Structure 1
Amino acid sequence: MDQTQDSKFEDSFLPMTSIGSGIGVAVLPDVYCYTDQIVNLVLVGNPSETSEFVLVDTGMPKSAEQISDMIQKRFGEGAIPKAIILTHGHFDHVGSIAALLEDWNIPVYAHEKELPYLTGKQDYPPGDPNVDSGFVAKMSPMFPNHGIDISAHVQPLPSDGTVPYMSGWKWVFTPGHSPGHISLFREQDRALIAGDAFVTVKQESLYSVLTQSKVISGPPRYYTTDWDAAYESVKKLEALKPQWAVTGHGIPMSGEELSTNLQYLVDHFNDIAKPESGKYVN
């Protein structure tokens, strides 16, 4: 592992948090959403039925101890996941993965198109401050955009759409926000872990992030580099008719609130999600 690359996360100025930080909620008995500062990670597994579970995404830098403590409170002392599934590799979704993997000898799975950013071969494009007037968007060029090297652990997701250690779930290719972004869907109860394909907070606004004001939104604008693909991904997820959704940022949505808002996002994507201008806007 390239410790020099990973140490850049530790040196980054990342003061943002929210009123939801440190709070977890069982969206379903086996789907636990935990907020780490401004981003959500998910534990998939029912602690009343099994000691086995999977961690989806790994939160912000410097959160490894907090994440480990949260896991042990939910699954017991010494508990570690069977695997880590990454929706994508942006800093707020892999911020603590290197530190966690120092203690956990477990596999990590991501889409093959995301692997260059997870094996130290490629960096993400920098954040674009011109996509929105919000303070988070303006700060985005300061956010880490470098790739990390976890090549000793990471491997591509199975090509048949199954998700290792997550029976009944399938991964859905939802690029746009990043080249290899994926979401996770379970047909049985129509549960969706959307990552940043869409979110339920206006992520560009510091006030909205701090207060976690719930509103349907597209992927975070400052990091989204392919808006045509992002729109197709939102349409793909809406077509699944999810009844429960945990997104990478914001409060989970369910039922009619989710279906109505997701349809509205599809119908008004250019107005709600896509910025009027920016370096990654066609």
Structure 2
Amino acid sequence: MELKQISNHIYKLTVETNVGIPIIINTWYIVNDDNVYIVDSGMNSYSKTQIKAALFLGTPQALFLTHGHGDHINGAKEIAESLNIPIYAHENELPYINGELPYPNKQVVERTNVAYKVQPIHQSLDVPFTFYLTPGHAPGHVVYHHDGDDVLICGDLFISSTTALHPPIYKFTYNMSQNIKSGTIIDDIQPYLISTSHGEDIVYAEELYQIYTFKYGEAE
């Protein structure tokens, strides 16, 4: 488990865990003066660590989700209730978070423990970052761009190494073709740094997305 500062205003918590397979899960803290905004909750098994990290960095204000899959939302209830902060996600994701519908490639609804406790994110919120809808992995998947630090928090839009981008796990992605098309956001924004939920941070380069689509663009 490691808490690392990746830019002037952003810290990343990396946890090695097991969700059927061993993986790393990254979550983030965006710090603006004394205000702290958490991006993704990770698993409930280390929610107390999330809470301690947020309080160490300042005064937590809200929890923002990239999407509603378990490894991104599982700890949301304890974090939000302990810190008395709201939870936000894209409105397209709320039917799945609320258990009203199963994800498009699933037969069973998610049991998130925060049903009807998540608010729709909107651009009028007074926060130091912007969100962009990037569907494909999940219908309401979003990425967050910190304009000042020029960091793009990508959730499961990609899995990344320090030199290349790869698609998320097919089993948990309802429309891989759409997900790959959503990846054009990195060329639209051209951030300095790309940070993903299950990979290493990677510095943006013009050829990154070209190589990615060359390798994976025909995937369905």
Quote the Cα distance in structure 2 between the aligned partners of 1:99 and 1:146: 17
Identify the residue that residue 54 of structure 2 maps to in structure 1. 71
Identify the residue that residue 20 of structure 2 maps to in structure 1. none
Tell me the secondary structure at the aligned position of residue 145 of structure 2: strand
What is the CA distance between 1:64 and its match in structure 2?
A: 1.1
CA RMSD after TM alignment: 2.4
Q: Choose 1 or 2 for highest CA Rg.
A: 1
Query: Does 2:207 correspond to 1:267?
Result: no
Greater RCO (CA < 8 Å, at least 6 residues apart) = 1
What is the CA distance between 1:26 and its match in structure 2?
A: 1.1
Specify every segment of 5 or more residues in structure 2 that has no aligned partner in the other structure, as ranges: 17-23
Quote the Cα distance in structure 1 between the aligned partners of 2:86 and 2:54: 17
Large movers: runs of 4+ above 4 Å = none
Query: Does 2:127 correspond to 1:166?
Result: yes
Quote the Cα distance in structure 2 between the aligned partners of 1:70 and 1:188: 22
Identify the residue that residue 142 of structure 2 maps to in structure 1. 182
Taking every aligned residue pair, what percent have the same amino acid on both sides?
26
Match of residue 96, structure 2, among 117, 139, 153: 117
With over 3 angstroms needed to count, the CA separation of the structure-2 counterparts of 1:268 and 1:238, relative to structure 1, is farther
Specify every segment of 5 or more residues in structure 1 that has no aligned partner in the other structure, as ranges: 1-21, 128-143, 202-212, 275-280
Quote the Cα distance in structure 2 between the aligned partners of 1:42 and 1:236: 20
Quote the Cα distance in structure 2 between the aligned partners of 1:145 and 1:252: 32
Query: Does 2:79 correspond to 1:100?
Result: yes
Match of residue 59, structure 1, among 10, 20, 42: 42
Choose between structure 1 and 2: higher strand proportion: 2
Choose between structure 1 and 2: higher helix proportion: 1
Match of residue 239, structure 1, among 176, 188, 212: 188
What is the CA distance between 1:214 and its match in structure 2?
A: 6.2
Q: Is the 8 A contact 1:89 1:114 kept in 2?
A: yes
Quote the Cα distance in structure 1 between the aligned partners of 2:112 and 2:75: 11
What TM-score does the superposition give when structure 1 sets the normalisation length? 0.68
Quote the Cα distance in structure 2 between the aligned partners of 1:186 and 1:72: 21
Quote the Cα distance in structure 2 between the aligned partners of 1:177 and 1:149: 21
What is the CA distance between 1:200 and its match in structure 2?
A: 0.7
What is the CA distance between 1:220 and its match in structure 2?
A: 2.3
State the aligned residue count.
Answer: 212
Q: Is the 8 A contact 1:191 1:245 kept in 2?
A: yes
Quote the Cα distance in structure 1 between the aligned partners of 2:109 and 2:57: 32
Tell me the secondary structure at the aligned position of residue 231 of structure 1: helix
